Chains A and B, each alone.
Chain A
Amino acid sequence: MEPWPPADDDALTAELSAALREAGPVPEDYLAAAWAAFAWRNVAAEIALAELVFDSACDAEPAGLTRSAGSARTLSFHSGAVVLEIEVTEAGIVGQLSPPEGGRVSAQTAAGTYDEAPVDEVGFFSLGVPPPGPVRLRAQANGYAVATTWVSLR
């Protein structure tokens, strides 16, 4: 591999020139979306984050685990002992929150909450079809609260 950064001053000046020129044309709506994301900082600071640990759309199925057949996409989010698993189909989202302690689950896009539903005694809940773009689920059980990481569900 060529040494980098180039030892030659002209070569480095040319690379810097390309880098600075490239920085120009980020579309305005990309910048606007990036700025606006900051509005979610308080939520991020106040509530435990449930990380995405499995997504059937792009992760290999864990060995020995049998999931429901068909075209459903399954995702699993973990935050310590709290597990939130969802199945996304054309009919909407069905999910399970564990440990089951009742409460409610709300679904949000970057623009705000678009749906919410109660969690039953065994932890099940169902939500409407998610809009395109990044979505997060926020669960408020009786003993804990978590929010999932942002991810496009369809």
Chain B
Amino acid sequence: MPPGGVDVTERSVASLVTAAAAGDESAWAELVRRYTPLVYSVIRSCGVNGADASDVNQTVWLRLVEHLGRVRDPQALAAWLATTTRRECYRLTRLGRRTQLVDPYDEALDTYHGFSRTADAAGPDEELLRAERRQALREGFAQLPPRCQELLSLLTADPPPSYREIAERLGVPIGSIGPTQARCLRRLRECPALAPFLTVSVTRPNGGDRDGAVAAGR
């Protein structure tokens, strides 16, 4: 971290867009780091592959460069990238030059996509929504305080270490882990990055007692 400054990985999308538009390469690199997984997962979800898929990726990032000075709502950047990616995928499938149109439910694709679709065969819109939500989670995570990031990284590791190991590694009492996890997740839920994807439940979840419930549950 630069002395007195903010680590680039903790900067808001708005400040990254502004800095990149002014020529800051590290801000651009951070935008690339944060958003290539989204662009990539949208490309995979629309059934474009090979050279066409690379071309879509390249087109989207060239478009973002020409678009940098015109991003009106940086919080909507993820949605803009997803929409642009989907549109360019569609353009290339219509050109039909190298892409074979694929049946998204073809099981042979599972290997290519790296996951199985047979368990829940979601439509393209649902796939897109999920990709955007996962991106929102990554974005929200990137904006959490380092302590939360550290703890959640350990808790989401595969396999997760025991509470004892986590407590030792972070130098905190075991009893504080549950409540801290709950607090960090609450910050994640309240993060602006998630706001565009919020769906409100009919019965309001009882969020008041979570700290205690989670602490007791593990």
Judge: A and B partners, yes or no.
Answer: yes
Q: Do residues A44 and B69 form an inter-chain contact, with CB atoms below 8 A?
A: yes
Given contacts A3-B200, A7-B207, contact A38 B25 (CB under 8 A): yes
Nearest A-chain residue to B35, judged by Cβ:
A34
Instruction: Work out how many contacts link A and B, with CB atoms closer than 8 A.
Output: 157
Beta-carbon nearest neighbor of B198 in chain A = A4
B158→A134 contact, CB < 8 A = no
Known: A1-B199, A13-B152, A16-B188. A38 touches B28 (CB 8 A): yes
Interface size on B, residues (CB 8 A): 62
Q: Are B36 and A152 in contact (CB under 8 A)?
A: no
Interface presence of A45 (CB below 8 A) = yes
In the assembly, what is the distance between CA of A16 and CA of B140, in Å?
10
Interface size on A, residues (CB 8 A): 51
Question: CB-CB contacts of B29-40 with A at 8 A, as 1s and 0s?
Answer: 100100011011
Q: A18-B134, A33-B54 are in contact. List 10 more A-B contacts (CB 8 A).
A: A3-B201, A9-B181, A9-B185, A13-B155, A19-B138, A19-B141, A27-B40, A44-B68, A132-B51, A152-B92
- Which 9 pairs from chain A and chain B are nearest by CB? A7-B205, A3-B201, A17-B156, A19-B134, A37-B61, A44-B66, A19-B137, A150-B62, A34-B61
Which B residues are within 8 Å of any A CB, using their own CB?
A: 20-21, 23, 25, 28-29, 32, 36-37, 39-41, 51, 54-55, 57-59, 61-66, 68-69, 88, 90-92, 94-95, 97-98, 114, 133-135, 137-138, 141, 152-153, 155-156, 158, 181-182, 185, 188-189, 194, 197-201, 205, 207, 210, 214, 217
What are 13 inter-chain pairs, A to B, with CB distance below 8 A?
A3-B199, A3-B201, A9-B181, A13-B152, A13-B156, A13-B181, A17-B155, A19-B137, A21-B156, A33-B54, A40-B65, A132-B97, A154-B97
